[in-house]
Amino acid sequence: MFKSGIKNRSRALITSVIMMLLGFSLPAQKNFTLSKKYPPAQLQQDAAIITDAVLKMHPVIGIYYPKSYYETVFHKLQESITDSLTEKQFRLKLKLAFDELHCGHTEIWNSKAYIKLVKPIKLNFVPYYMVALDKKLYVATSINPKKDSLLKLGTEILKINNIPVDSILNYSMHFISGDGYNTTGKQLYLRTGLNYSYPSLFGRPDSF
């Protein structure tokens, strides 16, 4: 019991260190904007630092897949960075790579500067509150009944802006942290969390 407790605390500490590294990998910028793009060389350097930390420190390495598997995953991540990216675009790339860790305690955070700029912005959301059940998407209610009342309670949504719902749900699952291959937690979050994650993953058009 004593050895197990020490091991678990060590894993928690290691994971926390990695999470801190991810949250502050991009340097602070006095003139930071949401649309600011970072050059590929800088992002590749950040990705290399993160890769080194994960491969050396993350407790999941060797549990689900051998170390060589994760070396390939993060090598492909670095190779995929061929153009300048915003913080958000870079973060989404990291999220896809980190989904391969199957670790619910490792997350990619927004920078403090990003959060500070986003908070006061009036963002455009999907006009209906949606619920995902059994790989399908349904209307729960309208966000603004006076403005959007065409779709009624229980209406099944097949596409959003020409993107099939099954594609939306499958893609979104990669951005929800979860332990192992248990998808129950991911599906539970996706049930209502899609209302908030959809705009981040698929954009905020002027109309839906």
Q: Express each pLDDT in 129-167 by its tens digit.
A: 999 999 999 999 988 887 877 889 999 999 998 999 999
With the CA atoms of 101, 106, 110 and 112 taken in that order, what torsion angle do they form, in degrees rounded to the nearest 10?
Answer: -150
- Global pTM value: 0.78
CB distance 198 to 185 below 8 Å: no
User: Which of 38, 93, 96, 103 has its CA nearest to residue 65?
Assistant: 103
Q: Express each pLDDT in 172-204 by its tens digit.
A: 999 998 889 888 989 999 999 988 888 888 876
Domain definitions of the chain by residue range: 2-118, 128-202
Domain 128-202: CATH class, spelled out = mainly beta
> What does the alpha-carbon distance between residue 59 and residue 133 come to, in Å, rounded to a whole number?
33
Q: Express each pLDDT in 75-93 by its tens digit.
A: 999 999 999 999 999 999 9
What mean pLDDT is reported for the chain? 83
User: Which of 22, 20, 63 has its CA nearest to residue 179?
Assistant: 63
